[in-house]
Structure 1
Amino acid sequence: LGVEEVFDLTVEGTHTFVAEDVIVHNSHAAAYSLLSYQTAYVKAHYPVEFMAALLTVERHDSDKVAEYIRDARAMGIAVLPPDINRSGFDFKVVGEEILFGLSAVKNVGEGAARAILEERERGGRFRSLGDFLKRLDEKVVNKRTLESLIKAGAFDAFGDRARLLASLDALLRWAAESRERERSGMMGLFAEVEEPPLVEAEPLDEITRLRYEKEALGIYVSGHPVLRYPGLREVASCPLAELPHFARDLPPRARVLLSGMVEEVVRKPTRSGGMMARFMLSDETGALEVVAFGRAYEGVSPKLKEDTPLLVLAEVEREEGGLRVIAQAAWTHEEVAEAPKALEVEVDHALLDEAGVALLKSLLDEYPGTLPLYLRVQGPFGEAILSLRETRVGEGALEALEAEGFRAYLIPDREAFLQGNGGGGSKEEVVPF
């Protein structure tokens, strides 16, 4: 390196830069700097186009796609399910939104996606599911591909997904017969057989619709099923994506309550002869890995069912590269729904000045009762949950609080789950508020 300081640009000649203990020649540093500037410029000035390109590059990695869709939503950019008449091969910008690309749908190969787009360009928009099937041979777009496209929402303009799935076999037969008549030259001799109507079927419930969506796209796009289970999200200590920040100031081996959908369950024996489970827990903000072993495994394992909601009492350990989340107990949605209730008040920290605190106190004093009280304070760097269990209020406080601008709702009492687990230590040691 010579005697000159490597970062001194006043020294003539070539230079070497040191960044995080890595020595990089100046030409490399200049190239990386320029690339970083260009990337940041595009993201700042063309955020929708930037995110669409990023999603396209990672379209075959469901974890990356899920992460970037969450990033896009945080930027105020909606990512929509695919549309057979609007989607492109890759993720596509439509106004200020992004449409899922056809090639990113599972079981839709690049060949099938290109065939669909070429036929749409040649013959115009598809007018119905039957029109689509008639124009594209089943050898090019097979039944498995069609089912994935329907489950992903690509044919939503033509009817309910349940009816489309129920009608698929009949429409495939009709389309094959229509093509055969065209090839044999019989279309002019006999009247064309009209496209059969969609079969009547019970509409998909929202949970099933979202599960199908995840099956076809690898992620939930139009929503997240955990939000459809009242109480689960509210009783959690924090959203999953915020756990690293939430746990930053907690004591070692602190315990938290986490809620989400169970995914990717793996059970296997341990070296000591016992059993352990490893699974993913996901909510609308993200996903994290949880492990269960020892005595906790016996209680947690029976409740680990794919695509079902779960509340988990977990111990958080810091380790190199992040956090290790160890399940101590778990409750199903039904168990959470049956738990005793508490009142939670959500309020912005800016409202908690002297006048705001006095107003809140007067409202709570006016409606005494038996419900434990929690205060969820929204601040500029996240939220904090304060346990005010010594203050007991009645349900009448709900309407009065909302009339004054506070958001109040009933939630399952967090303490009920701690006591059900056997407790151990003070409340602050078990679940930090």
Structure 2
Amino acid sequence: MYIELHAHSNFSFLDGASRTEELVGRAASLGMPALAVTDHDGLYNACLFSQTAKKAGIKPIIGAEITLEDGHHLTLLVENKAGYRNLSRLITKAHLAGSKGNPVLSYTALPGATEGLICLSGCRQGRVADLLARGEKEGALTAAEELKALFGKDNFFIELQNHLTPEDKHLSLQLARIAEKLGLKTVVSNNVHYATRDDHMLHDVLTCMRNKVTLDRSAPFRRLNSEYYLKGYGEMIRLPWLPHDAILRTREISERCCFDLDFSSLAYPRYPLPQGETAAGFLRKLVTEKACKRYGELTEKLRERLDTELALIDQKGLSGYFLVVWDIVEFARRMGISAQGRGSAASSVVAYVLGITPVDPMKHNLFVGRFLNELSTPDIDIDIATHRREEVIQYAYDTYGRENAAMVCTYVTFKARNAIREVGKVLGLPAHVLDRMAKTVSAYGSIDAIKSLKEAAEFGSCLESEAWQQFCNLCVKIADFPRHLSIHVGGMVITPCPVSEIVPQEHARAEGRIVCQWDKDSVDDAGLIKFDLLGLRMLSLIDEARDLVQQHRGLKIDFDSLSDDDPEVYKLICDADTVGVFQVESRAQMQTLPKVKPRSIEDLALEVAIVRPGPLQGNMVHPFIRRRQGIEPVIHLHPKLAPILGETLGVILFQEQILQVAMEIAGFSAGEANGLRKAMGRKNAHEELVKWRGRFVEGAEKQGIGREIAKKIFNHISGFAQFGFCKSHAASFAILCYRSAYLKRYYPVEFYCALLNNQPMGFYLPEVITGDAKRHNVEVLSADVNKSFWNCSIEEGLLRIGFRYVKGIGEEKGAAILKAREKSPFVSLQDFVDRTGLDNPSLQNLIAVGALSSIKGSRRQLLWEAGTIRTTGLAGVNAQIQENLPIPEMNTVEEILADYVFQGFSAPHHIMNLYRETLDRLKAVKSTDLACCRYGSIVLIGGYRVCLQMPPTAKGFSFLTLEDEEGLINVVVKPDCYEMHRPLIRLEPLLLVEGVVEKKEGLINVKAKKLASLREMGRIKGNQFAFLPFPVKT
């Protein structure tokens, strides 16, 4: 029997060429009862590997290959709990001692940190093997003696490998002699880097990426052959120079490794309690006190709900967790930082009375079983105003200990665009073709997008050659391979012991930030509990707009006491006038708003939830809308469903409804029902649902429900297999939706100012936001060195653009302008240059967008002066020459050109102003003209491409949003039309569309028949505007 004890998954970044599932599947097919994965300097894959192996009936052995300070490698395997703790600490020390991506472990870190670890001497890069290969036999012997002393005779093994290279025989024999001389045992490994021989080409490509070379120059870096795959006993025993007992010893070592990756006993942080208090007792006192303040008199129903929740919280040991979350939210409130819970936590009355969440579960009839049940561990997501989130994170570090808190990571993986560029670069394919291909697919799109390139007319024939076929296959294989770590948007773990004893930590790319090596799924799998401290820019926007209203109008808005039934606010929403309004500004939302016509927070929760993959995938959106409009009757598959689905008119829109249906129809417990819900969201949802179907139908029959009806009900809920909102989450977002709409309706200047200051956010670029502001009678003023600030500001009721939008003017340069302006306004260009010290490119950018217009001279005159002012230093002479020279002012076309180049938009103008003459000549209509066009008529319309959406639920249809001077235009593109015009649709920012007008229920779309580049058709005489690079949102 042979067990592989040295294998790398693709979490050995840019080195391992197989997924965990592939390694485990290969091991299972070889009949291995156990397998070790020893990725480079990390336990990134430990949880995924452990779970995958157990499912396959294979014992997982946790380990890592450590990089030492001299560059040598050491293979360490975890024998028990103490060994895991030591390995995690050692990896942390290695990463924190080195720079990002370059861990180095000092030999001095090993003494006292070897208990519970089994050490293998390492591969060819191990210290012992490397010294032997260099002819330093005494040095190799000494190195082996030192490792024997550190780990003990029974825990240190000499590692033998044979990859059929010329030096393997000599090296293996010498290693065996050292083992014999020191009384050590040998063990065989294959230093696996891919599951099967077929994957060796992918490994070569990854090696090239790691070393930044092309394949034809990679010989010094690539391994000599393809023998580094997972081999079974039959293959290993046929390899020469490997002792049979060393092969069999792999099983002996594997049997000693008995560590199970479960930290649920360490999951919960400890809240600093008053003396003599327990967490459960203190929480109950706190909840009772807060409930009286929230509700006044406590009804029997409310007491019963609180008692049920508190009992379940205590039973699961969650009291301390709730107290910590409350403490963090209370800190934010004390500091005036907007923070609120969302997600399933908003269904908890305990969370509501503690002030963690803003939604009253009793009022909105929220089901708590999605959040609290007997089987699963909940987590609470806290949204925090983005601009002050760091303060909250630092409070958590300071209060609960920097050693006991860490940010959760996320794995940055290969997506279509970077896979095309990087794989193609390694293979030496033409850069211009790769660039064109990469831009034709979504930056974050599925790797499957590469397959569709073969159908595109532009690339189809090119991809038929053998080299390009190989390129496509490699891109598909590398799909979703992890490349490096990043920080999760808000996930944090807080533990009662140092985090490094549970999971290794390393440097993040952000300076001074430490991140743990597990993502949110691994944290959950290990039994830890995660705190999500998420930055939400909409909270920052609402805070800023509220403060601006108070500053400029003297009015104080108290959102907590604000009524949520203002008909003017709902009119704005129902009219789909929702650019910038939280959660309802997408094209799909704008299409459904006039149909659903929300008139309450409950209605807004329905609207927020309806345009999600779950309801869309389950074909629930159209039935809901038709029933809402009274066109279609409400039908329930069984009378028991009426109380559950009554609010949503017989269709499933919320995650809680899945739980309630499973409990009511099949007799599931809340925990079992939540297990069904989780199964629907997994990658292998189809396989999971097959297992659940039988249990559901059997349970329904026990409830007296017929088998066929039970199957239909299960099919109904399984249509929700893609992600959808829970009702409590939708309700939390509905409140923010209403507040943002309220600000837009009554305080538009403040709203748009805050919206521009909190970019990037939502669907639209600043160009669209400023256009929407102007359509709402908000006058937008250009940046001005004597009046602007870093952020956009309000000036006598008008919106002034800030320096942040001028290209080349970062915060540091913006601060220099403001500091210089403190004494007095700038009176001349020379005065501005002398006092700010700005470099010439930055100066020219400011002049180009008209930011020095308050200083005497036109843009062109100032640009000429800026070009000479530092050349001679003779400002007076330059000014005199300038006055005598007949320098013409920029015309409107040139000013708009400069605004778009150096600012991304024009405050006083719209880009389409430049093409209106051409469009009028072509008899094209404006967006506002579409309402007067007959249904089915063919129109020509031009616009700036705002965004392109290609939802997987749309059966290949694409949706373009264009903007002209008057408003937004919805363009529907059929699959064949998209393929015909793919590069144009994805790359061209200014489009001319010929299409058919479609009107239904007040909504207007243009179904595209043909598309063309507006820039190509309407070049502007006298400048290079046709080649202007535009920002495009995909």
TM-score range for the pair, normalised by the shorter chain length: 0.5 to 0.7
Q: 2:926 aligns with which of 207, 231, 239?
A: 239
Q: How far does residue 116 in structure 1 lie from its aligned partner after superposition?
A: 0.8
Structure 2 distance, partners of 1:91, 1:210, is 20
Q: 2:772 aligns with which of 45, 50, 71?
A: 71
Structure 2 distance, partners of 1:293, 1:34, is 40
Structure 1 residue 135 corresponds to structure 2 residue 135? no
CA contact (8 A) 2:996 2:1006 kept: no
CA contact (8 A) 1:211 1:307 kept: no
Structure 1 residue 207 corresponds to structure 2 residue 893? yes
Structure 2 distance, partners of 1:92, 1:85, is 13
**Residue aligning to 1:360:** none
Q: 1:108 aligns with which of 802, 809, 825?
A: 809
| Partner amino acid, structure 1, of 2:965 | E
TM-score (norm. length: structure 2) = 0.24
Structure 2 distance, partners of 1:166, 1:155, is 13
Q: 1:196 aligns with which of 872, 878, 884?
A: 878
**Which range moved further: 35-44 or 70-79?**
35-44
Q: Which has the higher helix share?
A: 2
**Residue aligning to 2:853:** 156
**Residue aligning to 2:792:** 91
**Which range moved further: 19-28 or 155-164?**
19-28
**Residue aligning to 2:1010:** 327
**Residue aligning to 2:366:** 16
Stretches of structure 2 lacking an aligned partner (at least 5 in a row): 1-298, 306-361, 368-604, 610-652, 657-724, 948-959, 1000-1004, 1020-1034
**Residue aligning to 1:345:** none
Q: How far does residue 170 in structure 1 lie from its aligned partner after superposition?
A: 1.2
When residues 333 and 262 of structure 1 are mapped into structure 2, their CA distance, relative to the original with a 3 A threshold, is farther
Q: Which has the higher strand share?
A: 1
The total of aligned residue pairs comes to 280
Q: How far does residue 259 in structure 1 lie from its aligned partner after superposition?
A: 3.4
Q: How far does residue 196 in structure 1 lie from its aligned partner after superposition?
A: 2.6
**Residue aligning to 1:217:** 903
Q: For the aligned residues, what is the CA RMSD?
A: 4.6
Structure 2 distance, partners of 1:45, 1:280, is 27
**Residue aligning to 1:5:** none
Structure 1 residue 257 corresponds to structure 2 residue 940? yes
When residues 280 and 203 of structure 1 are mapped into structure 2, their CA distance, relative to the original with a 3 A threshold, is farther
Offset from partner CA, 1:92-130 (integer Å, 9 cap, x none): 111221011111111211111111111111x31111111
Structure 2 distance, partners of 1:80, 1:60, is 22
Offset from partner CA, 1:359-417 (integer Å, 9 cap, x none): xxxxxxxxxxxxxxxxxxxxxxxxxxxxxxxxxxxxxxxxxxxxxxxxxxxxxxxxxxx
Q: How far does residue 157 in structure 1 lie from its aligned partner after superposition?
A: 2.1
Offset from partner CA, 1:173-197 (integer Å, 9 cap, x none): 35xx58xxxxxxxxxxxxxx63631
Offset from partner CA, 1:230-263 (integer Å, 9 cap, x none): 36248645324776x678x744xx6321135799
When residues 39 and 260 of structure 1 are mapped into structure 2, their CA distance, relative to the original with a 3 A threshold, is closer
| Partner amino acid, structure 1, of 2:901 | E
Structure 1 distance, partners of 2:736, 2:962, is 36
**Residue aligning to 1:147:** 844
Structure 1 distance, partners of 2:789, 2:858, is 22
When residues 62 and 107 of structure 1 are mapped into structure 2, their CA distance, relative to the original with a 3 A threshold, is farther
Structure 2 distance, partners of 1:49, 1:283, is 24
CA contact (8 A) 2:786 2:854 kept: no
CA contact (8 A) 1:262 1:307 kept: yes
**Residue aligning to 2:867:** 169
The 3-state SS of whatever aligns with 2:794 is strand
CA contact (8 A) 1:81 1:154 kept: yes
**Residue aligning to 2:758:** 57
CA contact (8 A) 2:988 2:1013 kept: no
Structure 2 distance, partners of 1:161, 1:61, is 34
Q: 2:966 aligns with which of 263, 268, 285?
A: 285
CA contact (8 A) 1:90 1:100 kept: yes
Q: How far does residue 203 in structure 1 lie from its aligned partner after superposition?
A: 1.8
Q: How far does residue 227 in structure 1 lie from its aligned partner after superposition?
A: 3.2
When residues 329 and 43 of structure 1 are mapped into structure 2, their CA distance, relative to the original with a 3 A threshold, is closer
CA contact (8 A) 1:255 1:316 kept: yes
CA contact (8 A) 1:171 1:195 kept: no
Point out the structure with max Rg over C-alpha: 2
Structure 2 distance, partners of 1:328, 1:307, is 12
When residues 30 and 61 of structure 1 are mapped into structure 2, their CA distance, relative to the original with a 3 A threshold, is closer
The 3-state SS of whatever aligns with 2:830 is helix
CA contact (8 A) 1:92 1:98 kept: yes
TM-score (norm. length: structure 1) = 0.52
| Partner amino acid, structure 2, of 1:232 | L
Q: Which has the higher contact order (CA 8 A, sep 6+)?
A: 1
Structure 1 residue 124 corresponds to structure 2 residue 811? no
Structure 1 residue 227 corresponds to structure 2 residue 913? yes
Structure 1 distance, partners of 2:968, 2:891, is 24
Structure 1 distance, partners of 2:726, 2:764, is 34
Matches within 5 A, 1:19-38: 19=606, 20=609, 21-22=653-654, 23=656, 28=729, 31-38=732-739
| Partner amino acid, structure 1, of 2:842 | T
The 3-state SS of whatever aligns with 1:172 is helix
CA contact (8 A) 2:992 2:1011 kept: no
The 3-state SS of whatever aligns with 1:38 is helix
Structure 2 distance, partners of 1:330, 1:54, is 31
